[in-house]
Amino acid sequence: MTPPRSRSGSGSGTGRPQRAGSGTTKRSQPTRVPKERVEPTVDVHDPDGIRLQKLLAAAGVGSRRVCENLIADGRVEVDGHIVTELGVRIRTDQTVHVDGVRVQLDESRVYFAFNKPLNVVTTMNDELGRINIGDYVGDRHERLFHVGRLDADTEGLLILTNDGDLAHRLQHPQYGVAKTYLAQIRGPVPRDIGKRLREGIELDDGPASVDSFRIVDSQPGKALVEVILHEGRKHIVRRLLDAVGHPVLSLVRTQVGPIHLGDTKPGKLRKLSKDEVGKLYSAAGL
């Protein structure tokens, strides 16, 4: 007489023991909780420095109390690290950002918008005796740099500063700081001229293009157009417009990055605000 087969688990007749669980055939792997990455502590405090909130207030960020609140809220960085302690002292040559915008703490640094008049050469001292920028700012004790150049027959905005690092960045094509020009050209202006300029024009020293082009005003025989580009080559706006058959009659630079010429009169300086300086730093990637 044949003995009865033993049954296992849920009634399988194979005689093999059944695995418990959800039906997976792989043994579960142990789960390791990832360790939280801890940033190294960086001490930006300089015991011989000045309290951070005092420097921020002196830089025009706000009152001392406002600056203390900004620090406590974690909105202030020193040398790339968030500072929340009110007792921190720093040097004026350390890098400080508030809400991601650079704050210049060094009071010896100066920043101006200058409206260069026609027939003034872009240099601080001209060996040929021509009228130059130095004739307008020679009474200042700082050694100022002009950011970029404008032809003698081009007027408009120049940034003047003694901050060499910023001046270099604003001029370097790698950082792509845009410049805006108003040009009066011969008309009428065909509809496709903007497209041609944006796509690029082959010049004798290589291709060049504009970031933006628009017609501001049009009159019989001439038109006023706005050109925005980050090119810095010599006579670049005149050469581009001449290449598409519309020579420049007059040219004014109205904007460099976030800085506008505004109502600054020819030959006059306007001191940039703390907010404008911060925006310039942002435009230059500082």
Catalytic residues: 151
Distances (CA, A) of 154 to 147, 232, 264: 15, 14, 16
67 and 53 in contact (C-beta within 8 Å)? yes
Pairing of β 248-256 and β 155-161: parallel
136 and 267 in contact (C-beta within 8 Å)? yes
56 and 102 in contact (C-beta within 8 Å)? no
With a CB cutoff of 8 Å and minimum separation 6, the contacts of 114 are: 133, 136, 137, 146, 157, 158, 159, 160, 264, 268, 269, 270
Pick the closest to residue 133 from 160, 165, 167 (CA basis).
160
Q: How many angstroms separate the CA atoms of 60 and 62, rounded? A: 5
